[in-house]
């Protein structure tokens, strides 16, 4: 029953959050602030993780594909497919669920326990809309850009490390990343990425918004935001993949 209670309360909160803003100008400003807060501040960690993971995938692929029947350009192909289909959209989103989700839950949770949300309500502001709507929209908007950067850096990292370690040649790798390219896979990747952006921000905001108690509960809300956000990303990933690939 607790599970159903949370689902119901989550959708009611989202209904309040997606109601008409009191003043569009203030919300637009807040949206761009959140784009910077969620997106630009996550670039560092995404750059490092994507570059090295691309490199590792390339090296592992090169040393796993030992059969003479498999051409070496398969290394580039494997790196591209891994980065575009799973690593960048899903794993980076899981990392963002930790970084961004934890941050949002603790920020809103702290506002709740220090009565800042009550202060918004007393002023006549729809606190759910003011605090959650810009974050969710920013998450949906900026996540595909972050993932596109991650895809590029992962493939580039694979090239640099593959060539530097002698796992493959430059020609083979570049040929591999162009081979058998199916554009709709990018559509699939970006679509699920945008959905993950919405999940990360809305689930974190939900847990932060309903924080009760003190600092300990803010910590718990933050943990719940990461755990449930990650689980929902994996479930959504499964469902979207099923829809796209089983036709």
Partner 1 sequence: MIEIKNISKSFGNHKVIDDVSFTLQPGKTNLIIGESGSGKTTILKMMVGLHHIDSGQIIYDDTIFSELNEKQMQEFRKDIGMLFQGGALFDSMTVEENIAFPLKMFTNLSDIEINERVNFCLEKVRLHDRNNLYPAELSGGMKKRASLARAISSNPKYLFCDEPNSGLDPKTSIVIDELIHELTVEFNMTTVIITHDMNSVMQIGENVMFLYQGKKWWEGDKQTILSANNKELLDFVYAADFLKKTNPNKNL
Q: How many CB atoms lie within 10 A of CB 30?
A: 19
Residue 223 Cβ, how far from partner 1 at the closest point, in Å?
22
Task: Give the chain's end-to-end CA distance (angstroms, integer).
Answer: 35
Residue 130 Cβ, how far from partner 1 at the closest point, in Å?
8
Count of CA atoms in the C-beta half-sphere (13 A) of 90: 19
Our CB check for partner 1 shows the closer of 47 and 116 to be: 116
Contact 218, 113 (CB under 8 A): yes
What does the DSSP 8-state code read for residue 115? T
Residue 20 Cβ, how far from partner 1 at the closest point, in Å?
10
- Give the rounded distance of the alpha carbon of 150 from its chain centre: 11
Residue 195 Cβ, how far from partner 1 at the closest point, in Å?
28
Our CB check for partner 1 shows the closer of 119 and 235 to be: 119
Binding residues (CB under 8 A) for partner 1: these are 22-23, 26, 110-111, 114-116, 118-119, 121-126
Our CB check for partner 1 shows the closer of 130 and 206 to be: 130
Our CB check for partner 1 shows the closer of 47 and 110 to be: 110
Residue 23 Cβ, how far from partner 1 at the closest point, in Å?
6
Q: Kindly tell me the burial class for residue 235, based on how many C-beta atoms sit within 10 Å of its own C-beta (0-12, 13-18, 19 or more).
A: exposed
Our CB check for partner 1 shows the closer of 13 and 186 to be: 13
Residue 4 Cβ, how far from partner 1 at the closest point, in Å?
21
Task: Give the separation between CA 227 and CA 210, rounded to whole angstroms.
Answer: 16
3-state secondary structure of 230: helix
What does the DSSP 8-state code read for residue 169? -
Our CB check for partner 1 shows the closer of 41 and 165 to be: 41
Contact 226, 101 (CB under 8 A): yes
What does the DSSP 8-state code read for residue 246? -
């Amino acid at each position: 029953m607790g599970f159903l209670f949370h689902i119901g309360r989550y959708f009611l909160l989202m209904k309040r959050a997606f109601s008409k803003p009191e003043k569009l100008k203030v919300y637009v400003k807040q949206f761009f602030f959140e784009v910077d807060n969620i997106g630009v501040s996550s670039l560092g960690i995404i750059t490092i993780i994507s570059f090295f993971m691309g490199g590792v995938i390339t090296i592992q692929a090169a040393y796993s594909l030992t059969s003479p029947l498999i051409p070496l350009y398969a290394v580039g192909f494997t790196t591209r497919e891994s980065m575009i289909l799973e690593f960048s959209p899903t794993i980076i989103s899981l990392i963002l669920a930790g970084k961004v989700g934890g941050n949002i839950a603790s920020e809103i949770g702290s506002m709740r326990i220090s009565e800042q949300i009550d202060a918004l309500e007393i002023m006549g502001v729809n606190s759910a809309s003011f605090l959650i709507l810009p974050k969710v929209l920013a998450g949906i908007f900026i996540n595909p850009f972050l993932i596109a950067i991650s895809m590029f850096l992962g493939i580039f990292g694979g090239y640099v490390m593959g060539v530097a370690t002698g796992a493959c040649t430059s020609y083979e790798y570049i040929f591999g990343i162009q081979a058998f390219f199916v554009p709709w896979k990018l559509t699939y990747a970006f679509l699920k990425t945008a959905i993950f952006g919405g999940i990360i921000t809305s689930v974190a905001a939900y847990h932060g918004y309903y924080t009760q108690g003190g600092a300990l509960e803010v910590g718990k809300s933050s943990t719940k935001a990461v755990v449930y956000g990650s689980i929902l990303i994996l479930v959504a990933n499964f469902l979207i993949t099923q829809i796209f690939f089983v036709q």
